[in-house]
């Protein structure tokens, strides 16, 4: 009986947490200029044309490289947020490209 109650409580917490994520405001560092040209988003929310950007966003915790407009780049905690203008050097340092935005 305790396992069932724990399971129901866990599901409720997950549902409440996921519904709150849509209204949470995530602060991003203001010192980085956001300079991009227009992009086209397909139905599956992937970027279909390569975004032209002056920099890439790095998640220092997950070691992922993102385009500045990527959904996941906007979710990075400030302490894990970094940028680079050299994609190849980030790859050489062990970072990998995001599977959602596909930086090139």
Task: Tell whether pTM > 0.85.
Answer: no
Higher confidence at residue 34 or residue 103?
103
Least-confidence region, from 2-11, 24-33, 53-62, 89-98:
24-33
Q: In total, how many domains does the chain have?
A: 1
- Helices (H), ranges, the chain: 2-21, 87-92
Whether 76 maps to a domain, the answer reads yes
Q: How far is CA 43 from CA 1, 18, 20, 79, in A?
A: 44, 22, 24, 32
> Which pLDDT band holds residue 11 (cuts at 50, 70, 90)?
confident
Whether 101 maps to a domain, the answer reads yes
Whether 27 maps to a domain, the answer reads no
What is the structure's pLDDT at 17?
62
For residue 57, what are the β-bridge partners?
66, 83
60-64 long-range contacts, CB within 8 A, separation 24+ = 63/94, 63/95, 63/96, 64/95, 64/96, 64/97, 64/98
- Which CATH number covers residue 98? 3.40.10.10
Whether 14 shows a pLDDT value over 80: the answer reads no
Domain ranges, residue 58: 51-104
What is the structure's pLDDT at 9?
76
State how far the Cα of 85 lies from the Cα of 100, in Å rounded to an integer. 19
Whether 21 maps to a domain, the answer reads no
What tens digit of pLDDT does each residue of 43-99 get?
445 444 455 678 999 999 999 999 999 999 999 999 999 999 999 999 999 999 999
Residue 74 DSSP code: G
Whether 39 maps to a domain, the answer reads no
Whether 89 maps to a domain, the answer reads yes
């Amino acid at each position: 009986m305790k396992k069932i109650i724990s399971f129901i409580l866990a599901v409720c917490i997950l549902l409440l947490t996921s519904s709150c994520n849509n209204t949470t405001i995530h602060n991003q560092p203001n010192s980085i200029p956001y300079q991009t040209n227009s992009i086209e988003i397909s139905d599956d929310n992937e970027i279909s044309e390569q975004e032209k950007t002056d920099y890439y966003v790095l998640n220092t915790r997950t070691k992922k490289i993102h385009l500045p407009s990527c959904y996941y780049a906007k979710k990075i905690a400030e302490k894990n947020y970094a940028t680079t203008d050299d994609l190849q050097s980030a790859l050489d340092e062990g970072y990998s490209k995001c599977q959602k935005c596909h930086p090139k």
